[in-house]
Structure 1
């Protein structure tokens, strides 16, 4: 088949969908690369990308960064429990493989972020975006902001680089002589945006837990970090408090 015209990606998506339904590509198997699709159907890479993007939105295909496209397994995935506020530590305790991708940039604080951090709009902040992985798949997202007035003159300024990379907000602030304790969190329910769904390989409009987190300096009360966490509802449940143990 040679696909052309504005509906080309729909034709290709239908072909791939049919081959998956026929069992040619079982759940978890890798699908043809864009170059292989071009050789099979005779169209540009852009058409192949659009076809795969449509199948991703339908929940049929999953893209894995740097590896290609795979048939999404339809069996339900393990539900993860978020206990307390240290999500990463809680995941490790549940026996899953964890990892993350991150990117940090310096930017001017937008008014909502400035209000949360108790600084002026336009003041410099370090903004770090995270995609946290569980068993090599995206599990939740974090957007974090820290005032450069606090971290900017120290090696802790980059959360995921340098000698203190990856040790977490509480430990990094402790290196500056700041004791934070537990953050304040506000949890709400909403649906995933299109950008969030794409990052999590889910469908837009899927339910999510949205958590606004802020760490404070216990000595002064000033905010030292604020973050937005997004946890897809199909994978997560939240549990707070601790069961007492008998003496």
Structure 2
């Protein structure tokens, strides 16, 4: 009987279209000794470090010559067009069908090329509408005055102060609810676990682009009737707290870099794994913590500016 030889060099393995790294395993792979598989597929990317929804293509390893990567070529051409201003912010890119016809590729290849641009933050997906070029100029978030009493007196909250300074239009969707304090929130607010909290969830947009998510937690005992409304009034909840006699003394913020999870990515219209700022702010009176605010911001849309005294 003739001996069947296994040649690893002929077995294709999936590669990430973003980083070219190999997947550990994937859907659609032939058995270890099966026939080579061609085409493209999607696999679990959790071990790769790339966004979970990144797409993978088959490529050959072990020193064999690589086939031209049409996905990268198409992404490179579209990227150059976006950066050259051919697709200004808010202008739609060609549809998948148009890209398929223009570049003579499969719909999956066209989709993967656009997914690269989403991972880079150059485009955003609007459900039921298409893929649009994103604004690339970051918004300034200055710590100097955005939380000041003067801004509250002018009827602006922190986010609207950023918009006023930057000259863009703020939009905010708010949902309000109550829930018991978790152990973590109780520790942050210095209250007992289970104490009722007023929770304000906000989805914040610059124009029609979602750029920030924020959730505020306040002890319900401190909440005024206006705080239970979607629109808490001029100056926001900090103005309402001070009107109720809780004069704010200072704010404490901690910032770290994270990655957008699947739900956040869908809200932002970016690829899962996109870099975000995760900021936690606590508001203090001279006597206690009155609010914890967990904020998630798109990393490429904000510049965080701090003006700190030298003494």
Residue 101 (structure 1) aligned to one of 173, 176, 179:
173
* Alpha-carbon distance change, 196 to 230 in structure 1, aligned in 2, over 3 angstroms: same
Alignment partner, residue 160 of structure 1: 230
Q: Is the 8 A contact 2:171 2:204 kept in 1?
A: yes
1:79 aligns to 2:142 (yes or no): no
Kindly state the Cα deviation for residue 201 of structure 1 after the two structures are TM-superposed.
1.1
* Alpha-carbon distance change, 132 to 238 in structure 1, aligned in 2, over 3 angstroms: same
* Structure 2, unaligned runs of 5 or more: 1-40, 42-70, 79-85, 96-110, 148-157
Give TM-score, length-normalised by structure 2.
Answer: 0.55
Alignment partner, residue 186 of structure 2: 114
* Alpha-carbon distance change, 137 to 243 in structure 1, aligned in 2, over 3 angstroms: farther
Kindly state the Cα deviation for residue 160 of structure 1 after the two structures are TM-superposed.
2.5
Alignment partner, residue 201 of structure 2: 129
* Alpha-carbon distance change, 113 to 184 in structure 1, aligned in 2, over 3 angstroms: same
1:193 aligns to 2:256 (yes or no): no
Kindly state the Cα deviation for residue 81 of structure 1 after the two structures are TM-superposed.
1.2
Distance in 2 (CA, whole Å) between partners of 1:57 and 1:216 is 43
Distance in 2 (CA, whole Å) between partners of 1:213 and 1:61 is 28
Which has the greater radius of gyration? 2
Distance in 1 (CA, whole Å) between partners of 2:131 and 2:234 is 32
After the TM superposition, list the runs of 4 or more consecutive aligned residues in structure 1 that deviate by more than 6 angstroms: 55-58
Q: Is the 8 A contact 1:182 1:215 kept in 2?
A: yes
Alignment partner, residue 301 of structure 2: 235
Deviations 1:120-171 (A, max 9, x none): 11111111111111021101110111110211xx32331524xx43532320
Alignment partner, residue 244 of structure 2: 176
Alignment partner, residue 44 of structure 1: none
Distance in 2 (CA, whole Å) between partners of 1:192 and 1:171 is 31
Alignment partner, residue 285 of structure 2: 217
Q: Is the 8 A contact 1:31 1:69 kept in 2?
A: no
Residue 70 (structure 1) aligned to one of 99, 121, 130:
130
Kindly state the Cα deviation for residue 104 of structure 1 after the two structures are TM-superposed.
0.8
Distance in 2 (CA, whole Å) between partners of 1:57 and 1:180 is 45
Distance in 2 (CA, whole Å) between partners of 1:204 and 1:111 is 28
Aligned to 1:93, the other structure's residue is in SS state: helix
1:207 aligns to 2:275 (yes or no): yes
Distance in 1 (CA, whole Å) between partners of 2:229 and 2:116 is 32
* Alpha-carbon distance change, 61 to 169 in structure 1, aligned in 2, over 3 angstroms: closer
Kindly state the Cα deviation for residue 190 of structure 1 after the two structures are TM-superposed.
1.7
Q: Is the 8 A contact 1:159 1:168 kept in 2?
A: no
Q: How many residues align?
A: 200
